[in-house]
Amino acid sequence: MTKNKTKIRQTGCPVAFGLDIFGDRWTLLVIREIMLRGRRTYSEFMEMEEEIATNILIDRLKSLEAEGLVDKERDPQNRRSFLYSLTKKGRDLAPILLEIIIWSGEHDKRSFALTEVLEKIEADREGFESGLRSEKGC
């Protein structure tokens, strides 16, 4: 396992604290897979269109579990598979993901027909947030 996140910045700043946990190019994409797409297994995560490498994926899954953002359990239906699910701490990342989606929607030139979705989000932030697993936005 690549020894990731070696340097932890205990400065007390909440921004730095958050970035120490999910401040990289892959962690929030794994969260997105679970939260927005309902994917739950290693092989489902491997299907994401951004083409994550196997060692990076397993590294992020381990650190997410170590940080208490996801739980890992055997799939009762298929006992050679594992199911990853968000803890409360993980689910609480929803507003951050939502704000990233809003920001990108406003500033991504290629934002293909996302505008209408964005207007809905802005109009009903609460409602959207509670129903985040409904495929909108991504």
Partner DNA sequence: TTAATTAGCTTGCGTTTTGCAAGGCGTGAC
Partner DNA sequence: GTCACGCCTTGCAAAACGCAAGCTAATTAA
Q: What is the DSSP letter of 37?
A: H
DSSP 85-131: EE-HHHHTTHHHHHHHHHHHHHH-TT-TTTHHHHHHHHHTHHHHHHT
Q: Which does 17 bind (CB under 5 to 8 A by kind): DNA, its own copies, none?
A: its own copies
Name which of 27 and 114 has its Cβ closer to DNA. 27
Measured in residues, the chain has a length of 138
Q: What residues contact 26, with CB distance under 8 A and at least 6 apart?
A: 52, 56, 57, 60
Kindly list the residues in this chain that would bind DNA in the complex (CB under 7 A).
1-7, 24-26, 41-44, 46, 51-56, 58-59, 61, 78-82
CA distances from 83 to 12, 29, 38, 104, 112 (A): 33, 17, 11, 30, 33
Stretch that binds its own copies, among 39-47, 56-64, 75-83, 88-96 (CB under 8 A): 88-96
Rounded-to-integer distance, Cα 70 and Cα 25, Å: 18
Residues between 17 and 76 with contacts to its own copies, criterion CB under 8 A: 17-20, 23-25, 28-29, 32, 36, 49-50
* Single residue of 92, 119, 122, 124 touching its own copies by CB under 8 A: 92
Selected binder of its own copies within 64, 86, 93, 132 (CB under 8 A): 93
The contact set with its own copies (CB under 8 A) reads 9-20, 23-25, 28-29, 32, 36, 49-50, 89, 92-93, 95-108, 110-112, 114, 137-138
